[in-house]
A and B are shown apart, each in its own frame.
Chain A
Amino acid sequence: MTTTQHPLAASGLNYNLYAPRNLWNRAMNLLAALFSAMAVLPLVVVILYVLYKGGGAITPAIFTELPPPPGLSEPMGMGNAVIGTAMVTGVAALVAVPVGVGGGIYLAEVAKTGWFAQSIRFGVNVLAGVPSIICGLFIYALVVNTRILWGESFSAMAGSLALAVLMLPTIVKTTDEGLKLVSQELRMGSLGIGASRFITITRVVLPAAISPIATGVVLGIARAAGETAPLIFTALFSPFWPDWLSGLGLLAPTATMSVQIYNFGIMPFVPQVQLAWAASFILVVMILAANLLARWLARFSAS
């Protein structure tokens, strides 16, 4: 795009190819294109590499068998980690979504200003910045070390709590932002025909804001499913199936795919490393799917 006609250019009103400013302009165009290519390149390389290495390791047995003992190559599966990730992330969502949505409702609908709401907004921002490994240490000290959960130390439940702490600020923020987008007329109309605040919020305002909230929750869950650092000292790891007898498997240490990538990825055994790639494949595909779902949700609300 040439919007410039330098008045002093020797060739009159034509675009001067060699004017310093135009040279500089083209050099910067090239540089910006180069930077963008360098930013997109790692993504393409990582995703293709994971799909290539992990896709080859995916077999039906992955979902039905246990991982092999170190040194052996049979059986070749990680069904326990798949179940574990679903269990830990699911319970974390069950804890974090009600608390987060409730907190968001409070910030957006009940107390918009005032020192208490401000301090909670500040707290949400601080919590969003807390490193994930610190969440793990916090739950370790609070739950694992004190054996507060029926005398159990490491447990899937502790891992869920750590993930819930991690998801909480995202959910509060998206709920708060989503509710703010709902037009004030809806609230006034509902209150005007005599509905109580409870009915107004739960029947009118929340349904109107459901799609941004759902987007935030989906992305939060996907992010949490890939988190490793909060789990290595809380849910720990286990080479066995979940022990359904101890609190439906929630009160025993459990395997998760993310911790399995860490544990197996640094092992010198080929089958273990292959399982780490298979777990990466499943996690990456799941996260791609969640992002597409979130985009679809956003478009769904726009139409």
Chain B
Amino acid sequence: MFTHKKRPWTERLVDSAFIRTTAVLASVVSLTVFGIFFTVGFQAVFQGDLSSLLPWNPDSIWQGIAAWNDEETFGVRWGAIPHFGLGFLADSSWNPVRNDYGALTPIYGTLMTSALALLLAVPLGVGTAIFLTEDFLPQKLRTTIGFMVELLAAIPSVVLGLWAMAMLNGFLAVFTPLHTYLGWLPFFGTQPGGPNLAMASLILVVMLLPIITAVSRDSLNQVPPELRQGAYAVGATRWTSIFQVLIPAAISGIVGGTMLALGRALGETMAVTMIIGNSTKLSTSWFAPSSTIASLLANQFGEADDIQVSALYYAALVLMILTFLVNICAQFIVKRLALKYD
């Protein structure tokens, strides 16, 4: 549209080269996403490194696949997916000695810590967001508190983990009475004596709060003031208008922020690794040490070899698919529930 036919050829060359370069740079993003899925998937299916994809490599998997029918001795070194299949997801044994792996415990730990954390963080976060968008406090103070909550999101998770380890005894002092009086519930069934799943959930709450608060606050701020004025005009109290008008109008942002936080919780690594106890034994109790997929990776990947590496990549693939689905759902929900004001 804006191209000038009589422009000097040098300028046109620079222009088209620039446009091409930005296109290439943009496609790096898509290539990276594809590369991550491909690499993790490859390592989960095959043992051996990525260079065995090259046909001229002596360990090439193509040779192995070609020779598969002739002689089994030249067969491919298959990884965890062919070995364990879908049973991997339902098997709770993680035994490096017998090379028998199943990811049920970390999958359960991942889902349970995230669910517990969301259960606590959503009311707290949305409550804070409401508090910060109403006129309880002067505007300046509200901005400051909002800024402070956002700062919490910037604190590195490893620092939170270190802090949580220092607070270990404080956590235990809270958990022990719960076990003493409610120990008959399976969730409180273990005597809390060290790092455990409940602590990891509490640390996750601290990490999720700023995300949920920030996103909910933004979407509550975007609700047109006429809606609130209308509610007040027909005699609604403050909280009737919040529950019946403001929250329904902002629900897409709130749910979207919650899903975003869930994605973060599923993949959170360092703080959880430092405080969950890293046990691969399945337990229904929240006070028993457990593990999440991310903590399993952080804890075991360094010392793993052969099929264990492949099993860890399989677990990583499960984690990626989980977070991918959560993110897709978040985008879909935000688009679907968003109210249009014309």
Whether A36 is near chain B, meaning CB under 8 Å from some CB there, is yes
| Contact A127 B29, beta carbon cutoff 8 Å | yes
Contact of B156 among A33, A127, A258 (CB under 8 A): A258
Q: B39–A123 contact, CB under 8 A?
A: no
Whole-angstrom distance from the CB of A232 to the nearest CB of chain B?
Answer: 6
Report yes or no: B26 in contact with A4, Cβ–Cβ below 8 A.
no
- Give Cα A177–Cα B198 distance, bound, in whole angstroms: 39
Count how many pairs of residues, one from A and one from B, have CB atoms less than 8 Å apart in the complex: 279
A39 on the B face (CB < 8 A): yes
Closest to A262 in B: B158
Interface of A is mostly: helix
Is B276 close to A, CB under 8 A? no
A266 vs B72: C-alpha distance in the bound complex, in angstroms? 46
1/0 contact string of A100-144 vs chain B (CB within 8 Å): 001101110111000011011001111111111111011011100
Taking CB atoms, residues of chain A closer than 8 Å to B235 are: 4-6
B19, B27, B32, B331: the one within 8 Å of A110 (CB): B19
Partner of B154, one of A29, A223, A232: A223
CB distance from A33 to the nearest CB of B (A): 6
Contact-size category for B: 35 or more
B163 within 8 Å of A (CB atoms): yes
Is the C-beta of B66 less than 8 angstroms from some C-beta in chain A?
no
Q: Is the CB of A49 within 8 A of B166?
A: yes
In Å, the complex CA distance between A191 and B4 comes to 10
Q: How many residues of A contact B (CB 8 A)?
A: 97
Closest chain-A Cβ to B57's Cβ sits at a distance in Å of 10
15 more A-B residue pairs beyond the given contacts A44-B148, A116-B23, with a C-beta to C-beta distance below 8 A: A6-B235, A21-B240, A28-B238, A46-B152, A123-B30, A126-B324, A127-B33, A130-B36, A137-B301, A168-B28, A226-B158, A226-B159, A227-B156, A265-B158, A265-B274
| B→A interface (CB under 8 Å) | 2, 4, 7, 11-12, 14-15, 18-19, 21-30, 32-33, 35-36, 39-40, 42-43, 49-51, 123-125, 127-128, 130-132, 134-136, 145, 147-152, 154-163, 165-166, 206, 209, 213, 232, 235-240, 242, 260, 263, 266-270, 273-274, 294, 297-298, 301-302, 312-313, 316, 319-320, 323-324, 326-327, 331
